[in-house]
Amino acid sequence: MLKEISYSILFLLFAGNLISQNAIGNNIILEDGYERVVNIGLTAKIPDNELVPIINDKKEVIKNINTTIDPPKINDVRQNPQQIIDLELIPNNPIKQLETTYDKRFDLSGITLFNDRVYVIADKEWDNHIYRLDTGATSFKVISVRELCIDYATDFEGIDRCDGKFYLIDESRNNVYMGEMISCDLVQIPVAWEKLNIDRSTWGNKGLEGLAYDCEKKLLYLGKEREPRRIFLINLTNNEISEPFADIINSDEVGYDIGDMKYENGNLYILERGRGLVTRIDTKTKQFFSVSYQQIVLKNKQRLYNNSSYKFGMAEALMLTEDQIWIGLDNNGDEVSDYGKSIGLKPGNKPVIFIFKRPQGF
């Protein structure tokens, strides 16, 4: 009996060593500091409802073998690199530059899908409009469909919709608004910031940047951009405010920011533009999983536009469909770089939307 136990222990130690060596040997730590698994020869058991970033030689998802892996928390990523998969562009016309009908600059800052039509907003003071995208061409044409009645210079940064209404955030005053397409009027949504002792006047250009709405439960998620980034939850039925992810999301490090957000089926999706990620957070368990688009927007420190500050991302618009992820960039009027031209962007300073395949289960 004692001998059998000894052999079992030796076998486990040997197997564990093989797993450790194999895992390390097949992981690649890229410049962005994250770990990607390629051609890995082992498998791991992960809950069936979780997307599995472990891929074999045939690039098929592997599930349900022996070792249980607990999903890491967001604030553990720096100590234990998360396994992240790269998004792939759709095969046909995945790069869409935006064409406008007026001379002023259009700085894309938010996007949403409503009744099979795509609507966008921009963040400059002259852009107090909601625009529709004409998506029938290789480039997207921006068409104004609703001017908004507001009497100050706006900085619209996020848009979502529910039951025929749309919701907007304005970073210039860090206010939240609700409106309808049939009217230019906006109704300011009251937020009890004082319950969290928050003084929005100190935020400056680091204020509200992302908005997502849980239409069924009437829950509004607001994302503060950076330094530190924060996510607030507003219950519109009783005006209660909370920070449900304060223990895992708040960070004032460079690159840890929020560019946009969307809610879908119990999950909150965050556009982390500084790290080139779209991160899904389960709003109940707080488990998370990320996919990366960094390999497109920042390749060998080359950016799509002539902007030397590659530590700060440009992505500000996130939209999800059943099988696609749309990510829009605000290039702040910068010209397309040589690298941008090499992947298909036209010369000039038009913003761009990339359309990626949505991984199964994400």
> What are 13-45's pLDDT values in tens digits?
434 443 333 333 333 333 333 333 333 222 233
Residue with tokens 């560019």: 259
> What are 310-335's pLDDT values in tens digits?
666 799 999 999 999 999 999 988 99
Enter the pTM of the model.
0.78
Q: Smallest Cα–Cα separation from 351: which of 109, 107, 95?
A: 107
65: amino acid identity, one letter: I
> What are 39-60's pLDDT values in tens digits?
322 223 333 333 333 223 333 3
Top-confidence residue, 2 or 68: 2
**Domain extent listing, the chain:** 2-70, 95-357
Assigned fold of 95-357: Hemopexin (2.110.10)
How far lies 3's CA from each of 13, 14, 16, 305, 323, in Å? 15, 17, 20, 67, 55
Q: Which two tokens stand for residue 147?
A: 């001017």
